[in-house]
Amino acid sequence: MRSLPTGTEGAVFDCDGLLVNTEDCWTVAETAVFAAHGESFGPAQKALVIGRTLEAAGQAMADYFGRPAAGAEIAAELLERVRKELARGATALPGAVELVRACRASVPIAVASNSPRELLDIALESAGLMDYFTYSFAADEVQSPKPAPDLYLTACEALGVTPKRSVAFEDSATGIASARAAGLYVAVVPSLPGTDLDHDWLGTSLADPELLEWAGGLGSEHVH
């Protein structure tokens, strides 16, 4: 595992399962959808949908249920259930607020999420993170969401930073593929324990002391 890069120009964060504990909300919703279709929901089923857009998750479920033509209908059902769960509130994951605050003090930051704008705003607002980000980008605001590189490239362009000198924080294979394709350094905190994910840096929490130490040193690199 490489250490985190010096000379970083910007940081781009995924939201669900990385900054905000929305995966619990999604899991409750996904479990209910599976149950409604007579199927049980466990780690293997979660792996099918995690990190995907609402549309892609709906299609994956439809395929799994043997109803490939019902993707849009199942995605709509999932959205309704997730909306209901998120309305109850979602909390910031350990270390998220501190890391975002530390990065923001030194470099421009953004959110790049595979959630639709409506759900992204609810999650960031609920977790008390909304005001830290001038820029956030949602799946329904780019031509091709993750795993395509568009969200990360759009974020870097808005921040005025070079992807190769920026760090992406991710938790799922779909998001990692997107950040990798865009050329960012990829720091990973998996939301599903025990998954073997591509990474440049791997940790178990955003509260990892190494991350805060790195973020705290970012400002000194820009002093000439």
Which amino acid is residue 102, in one-letter code? A
CATH number of 10-22+90-221: 3.40.50.1000
Backbone φ/ψ region at 38: left (φ over 0), alpha (ψ -120 to 50), beta:
left
Is residue 3 over pLDDT 90?
no
Average pLDDT over residues 1-29: 92
What pLDDT, on the 0 to 100 scale, is given for residue 1?
53
User: 166-170 and 201-202 as β-strands: parallel, antiparallel, unpaired?
Assistant: unpaired
Locate 191 and state its tokens: 């939301």
Q: Tell me, rounded to whole angstroms, the distance of Cα 36 from its chain centroid.
A: 27
Of all residues in the chain, what percent carry a pLDDT higher than 90? Answer: 92
| Prior bond of 147 cis (ω within 30°) | yes
Locate 47 and state its tokens: 């792996």
What pLDDT, on the 0 to 100 scale, is given for residue 224?
34
3-state class of 207 per DSSP? coil
Is residue 221 over pLDDT 80?
no
Residues present in the chain in total: 224
Dihedral angle over CA of 122, 205, 99, 131, nearest 10: 0
Q: What are 135's strand-pairing partners?
A: 110
Domain boundaries, the chain: 10-22+90-221, 23-86
3-state class of 11 per DSSP? strand
Is residue 83 over pLDDT 70?
yes
Which amino acid is residue 69, in one-letter code? A
